[in-house]
Amino acid sequence: MDQKEFERIRQFFPELTPLQPPPDLGPQRQLELFRTMLLIRAFESALPDLWKSNVVYGLAHAYEGAEAIAAGACAALEPGDFITSTHRGHGHCIAKGGDVNRMMAELMGKVEGYNYGKGGSMHIANVEAGMLGACGIVGGAIGMAAGCALRARLRGDPDVTVCFHGDGGANQGIWHETLNMASIWKLPVIFLVENNQWSISLSYDRAFNVPNIANRACAYGIPGVTVDGFNAFEVYRAVREAAARARAGAGPSVVEAKFYRYVGHFVADDQRYRDIEETYRWRALDPLRRMRDYLIDSGVASPQACDGLGLEAHRRVQAAIEFGMQGAEPPPETLFRDIYAD
Amino acid sequence: MTRRITVKHAINEALDEEMARDERVFLIGCDIGRRGNPFQVTRGLWEKYGDSRVIDAPISEEGFTGMALGAAATGMRPVVEILYSDWITLAMDQIVNQIAKVRYMFGGKLQVPLVIRAPVGAGGGAAAQHSQSFEAWFCHVPGLKVVMPSMAADAKGLLKTAIRDNNPVLFFEHKRTYNIEGDVPDGEYTIPFGRAEVKRAGRDITIVATSMMVHHALAAADRLSAEGEIDCEVIDPRTLAPLDWDTLLESVKKTGHLVVVHEACRTCGVGAEILAELAERAFDYLDGRPVRVAGLDVPVPYNRELEKLVIPDAQRIIEGVYHSLG
């Protein structure tokens, strides 16, 4: 975007930062980031039609607009690190190495899904890759993230945990309890607030008395930073720094990735509580368009190559839908599996 | 060989032995470390194991219970203490929606080997918010196990099993049993879940009692055999989830009469479940009405005489027996 556009947007989004990759993110890794973001967008865009045809049912919450956050944050982690997620967890699962085939099968309730069809969208989990499941309770996984970090501290393990949660989660009591305990015990956890400025129908200005959620970090004596959530490089930088701090024993941080929820709260949300026109001005910040523009402007990839990557993402999702559609219904015995461990 | 020790001493031994045996076991709760717990249940453990195994937490029940989940899911074996079970309400989302369900929802890909000790019970004048017994709530949540010991040997053996179990276990010890002595076997032993114990064998009527009520039921049984020539069989289920239905059924088939006693208030207590299930399974064997003797459906009052009216005692159990025998 040009300087004039930049200044215009900064009027309502002061966090806006130009895309500038950090030195440890070379062209290959930048393309990887873009691939991940494209795959998330393609996956989430497929949801409304699948939901309308009742192939995916119940509740599904799309990660559209947040792609830069999951992609940037997960790229900043080591293979042994953990993440916890929210009800809006498809993006987290994909960014942490999730297989879209098994994810789509799970959303369709098929036995080939990650959770044998017993979790669905809100509980999608890829535990083997360190993604400790999506959680249907707002803020419900915040304690779990800090507990994972507590284990690391007690055992002397080198891993860190990124706790993804939203602006909604930051108002739950457990956020405050957990930030406090993580701060006194110096736990290696990063509280990554995905501030999309909407808690279902409650806009940020009606839910908070501070301009940034990261401002609350000082109340717990820990660092807090607010970044451009539409910018994968900025999210990457902030998480990389916070992770290094955590690994060095300096404890937790708050990283607030501010962006905007482009779509409704859940797939069939009619959004009557907000002015749809207002959401359009945020579309100018679309993280995919900005990343694409950066890759082309910097010579990392041609427009054709970018289009190719977009098509590839679309095809992978189509294949995932095929995989899911051909999947099997879980047999009734599945009901009683895994209630208890042996 | 056995020794005579109190319930709280037995619990302390169980914690000590399991912590020595498995370095993944740690304790977390309020005032459990330097204070050794206000009832002295965890006395000496912080001195022996230090800050990294006995963690004094701020008053944040939901937070540290959730953290116990995270630690358990990634390889540790926490024992959470919520000093008064009444405060378990603060941690309900973590227990019911997370701890109980994550294994199931996530395709069995993780396990949650944690124990939550939450002492129950009235009788000390601690009033409405410090005297309750919520075991029934947790029996109603698939994914949890519920243990309720009455005596020292049971408390120790069951707590050791709870800590070794790879599932979340609610352990409801009764505060009024803390100083009751019992014979505890020497050496290493555990007690499996789902095994009720016949505390007193008898012919005429089955009394199923939990926790502190086991002691009152035994006292009632002694009086009934002396005064009424009624021979009571007193059974302590010891674990409510899983519950040993076979032992209870065997007994009711033999005696034809059933009284269930618990301290928790009557309506929708575990007595309702036991009565319903046995009424269905043992219908042909019952010769008289099955009866519940339970706490009154009131918040526990402060006044000590009023409080006595709320909690069942040997006398009310005796009345329940006569009511069942007609």
Give the residue with greater pLDDT, A136 vs B326. A136
Looking at the DSSP assignment, which residues form a beta bridge with residue A254? A191, A224
Q: Which residues of chain A neighbour B103 with C-beta distances below 8 Å?
A: 338-341
Nearest CA among A321, A288, A285 for reference residue A38: A288
CA distance B103 to A338: 6
Over residues B213-241, mean pLDDT = 97
| Whole-model pTM over 0.90 | yes
Amino acid at B22: D
Give residues with Cβ within 8 angstroms of A17, minimum separation 6.
A227, A228, A231, A234
pLDDT value of residue A263: 85
Cross-chain residue pair B98–A135, CB shorter than 8 Å: yes
CA distance B137 to A316: 46
Cross-chain residue pair A338–B65, CB shorter than 8 Å: no
**Selected residues 96-155 of chain B with any CB under 8 Å from a CB in chain A:** 97-98, 102-113, 142-143, 145
Whether B84 has a pLDDT exceeding 90, the answer reads yes
Nearest CA among A33, A14, A9 for reference residue A22: A33
pLDDT value of residue A184: 98
| Pairing, β A198-199 against β A202-203 | antiparallel
Whether B216 has a pLDDT exceeding 90, the answer reads yes
CA distance B70 to A166: 19
Structure tokens at B12: 């302390």
| Run of H or E including A195 | strand A189-195
Q: Which residues of chain A neighbour B73 with C-beta distances below 8 Å?
A: 132, 144, 147-148
A-B interface: how many C-beta pairs under 8 angstroms?
144
Cross-chain residue pair A181–B64, CB shorter than 8 Å: yes
pLDDT value of residue A277: 84
CA distance B42 to chain A (A): 20
Interface test with B, best of A144, A159, A186 (most B CBs within 10 A): A144
Averaged pLDDT of chain B:
97
The list of chain A residues with pLDDT below 50 reads none
Over residues B199-217, mean pLDDT = 98
pLDDT value of residue B144: 98
Query: Which chain B residue shows the shortest CA-CA distance from A180?
Result: B58
pLDDT value of residue A332: 96
Nearest CA among B145, B307, B320 for reference residue B240: B145
Cross-chain residue pair A118–B107, CB shorter than 8 Å: yes
Structure tokens at B28: 């977390």
CA distance A144 to A163: 9
- The 10 Å CB-count burial string (b at 16+, else e) for B281-308 is ebeebbeeebbbbbbeeeebbeeeeebe
Cross-chain residue pair B98–A141, CB shorter than 8 Å: yes
How big is the CA angle at B161 (ends B159 and B165), to the nearest 5 degrees?
A: 115
Residue B51 forms contact with A (CB below 8 Å) = no
Q: Which residues of chain B neighbour A339 with C-beta distances below 8 Å?
A: 103-104, 142-143
CA distance B145 to B149: 13
- Could you give the 3-state DSSP secondary structure of residue B265? strand
B225: buried, middle or exposed (CB in 10 Å: 19+, 13-18, 0-12)?
middle
For B230, list phi and psi in degrees, rounded to 5: -105, 130
Residue B161 forms contact with A (CB below 8 Å) = no
B246: buried, middle or exposed (CB in 10 Å: 19+, 13-18, 0-12)?
exposed
CA distance B284 to B287: 8
Nearest CA among B323, B26, B264, B326 for reference residue B139: B264
Within a 10 A sphere around the Cβ of A197, how many other Cβ atoms?
18
Query: What whole-number percentage of chain B has pLDDT above 70?
Result: 100
pLDDT value of residue A272: 87
List alpha helices for chain B, DSSP H: 7-21, 45-49, 61-73, 92, 102-105, 135-139, 152-164, 212-223, 245-255, 270-281, 304-310, 314-325
- Could you give the 3-state DSSP secondary structure of residue A118? coil
- Could you give the 3-state DSSP secondary structure of residue B293? strand
pLDDT value of residue A275: 87
Among A149, A151, A338, beta carbon nearest to B108:
A338
Residue B192 forms contact with A (CB below 8 Å) = no
pLDDT value of residue A278: 84
pLDDT value of residue B202: 98
Q: What is the crossing angle of helices A232-247 and A67-75, to 10°?
A: 40
Q: Which residue has the tokens 């873009």?
A: A34
Within a 10 A sphere around the Cβ of B267, how many other Cβ atoms?
13
CA distance B144 to chain A (A): 8
Q: Which residues of chain A neighbour B52 with C-beta distances below 8 Å?
A: 154
Cross-chain residue pair A338–B103, CB shorter than 8 Å: yes
Q: Which residue has the tokens 């055999």?
A: B225
DSSP readout, A211-234? S-GGGGGGGGT--EEEEETT-HHH
How big is the CA angle at B200 (ends B199 and B203), to the nearest 5 degrees?
A: 140
Nearest CA among B249, B310, B296 for reference residue B274: B249
Using CA atoms, how far residue B295 sits from B126, B208, B300, in Å, is 16, 15, 9
Q: Which residues of chain A neighbour B108 with C-beta distances below 8 Å?
A: 116, 337-338, 341
Give residues with Cβ within 8 angstroms of B145, minimum separation 6.
A340, B162, B165, B167, B168, B169, B170, B193, B239, B241, B242
Predicted confidence (pLDDT) per residue in B109-143, tens digit:
999 999 999 999 999 999 999 999 999 999 999 99
Predicted confidence (pLDDT) per residue in B261-282, tens digit:
999 999 999 999 999 999 999 9
Q: Which residues of chain B neighbour A184 with C-beta distances below 8 Å?
A: 58
Residues of B tagged active-site: 61, 130
